[in-house]
Amino acid sequence: MNPSLRSQLLGPLMWAWLLGAVLAVVGAFELARYAGNAAYDRTLQDEAGAIATQINWTDRGPLLELSTQAQQLLARHSSDRNAYMVTDGEGRILSGVGDLPLPGPRDIDESFERPVVFDATYLGEPVRGAMYSIRSPMLDQHVSIVVVETRRKRGELIQDVLLAILVPTLVLGVATFLLLAAGVLGLGGCATTSEPKPAKAVYHINTDVNTVPLILNNIRNHINAAPKDHIVVVTHGAGINFLLQDAKDAQGREFAGTIGDLAGRGVEFRVCNNTLVSRNISPDRVAMEAKIVPSGVAEIARLQAQEGYVYLKP
């Protein structure tokens, strides 16, 4: 596969994977934060509700007496700081810490319907709070309960959930990207191996010089059409004559130039030694571009059977 085409495939794949990874990180963080907040917000609301149940309405106004169970609920996490505050309708502190942060005005109004949660800062540290307001049976008085806690345990839970979601997702994403990238790179290998291999052909010549010009022209056309093909010309009998020194065709043109040109383009010429011996021809007379083999027909058979050459006899 062309490197530029491979880059065109891998480029969008990489950007798509990076976008997916970013979305996975953002989604995992939001999910972890939601899970952590949902778990601890419910407990905060329960704390505010538990304190609300300890409010007693008397002639002198609301009175708070925290039970042991409510106190234990407020002190459930030793690593987090918890604090509460109970105020009456005039804003006077009835119990607890007097400087706790409050939610916005809208949240205060909603706190009469249900406990509301909010984010704030207390003593220089981020906290999560819950506020719950209740009215007296005569509806002439009300109190508000505010409970806040630091976010340490909450942060640890968010981190644990984030890792539990993110690590497998990223591992799976990286594995998927690598498999897809390997597939794209593998296409290059497939494309390379699927290209046609150069052909291998053995031309058999055993006729006199009168037919050789046409055969050599066929070989030249073969090379022009398929420059990478491997061509071997095996001669025996009268076919060796054009490969002898000073050999000429019927028009008196020497074969040396054509032989040299074809040899320069990779064509191999082989001469049968049995023919040389039977005709009492010295090996010195054979053209320098040609190689002498023990037997022409045996060489043809060997090239076909052992090296996969195609047999051609023009």
For residue range 239-267, what is the model confidence (pLDDT) as tens digits?
A: 999 999 999 988 899 999 999 999 999 99
- Going by pLDDT thresholds of 50, 70 and 90, the confidence category of residue 312 is very high
- What pLDDT shows up at residue 7? 62
Q: What tens digit of pLDDT does each residue of 58-84 get?
A: 887 788 776 655 555 555 555 667 888
| Mean pLDDT of the region 35-45 | 79
| Mean pLDDT of the region 12-33 | 74
**Range 3-158 has CATH code 1.20.1300:** no
Mean pLDDT for the chain overall: 83
Answer with the residue of higher pLDDT: 217 or 171: 217
Q: Which two tokens stand for residue 171?
A: 């591992």
- What pLDDT shows up at residue 43? 82
Q: Beta strand 142-150 with 125-135: parallel, antiparallel or unpaired?
A: antiparallel
User: Which residue ranges make up each domain of the chain?
Assistant: 3-158, 200-312
The residue written with tokens 């001469």 in the block is: 271
Nearest-10 Cα torsion for 22, 26, 28, 29: 140
Q: Which residues pair with 291 in a beta bridge?
A: 270
**Hey, what CATH topology would domain 200-312 get?**
Hypothetical Protein Ychn; Chain: A, (3.40.1260)
Answer with the residue of higher pLDDT: 290 or 27: 290
From CA 235, how far away is CA 211, in angstroms rounded?
A: 13
Is residue 54 within 8 Å of residue 142, measured between CB atoms?
Answer: no
Predicted TM-score of the model (pTM): 0.44
Q: What single-letter amino acid sits at 306?
A: Q
- Going by pLDDT thresholds of 50, 70 and 90, the confidence category of residue 191 is very low
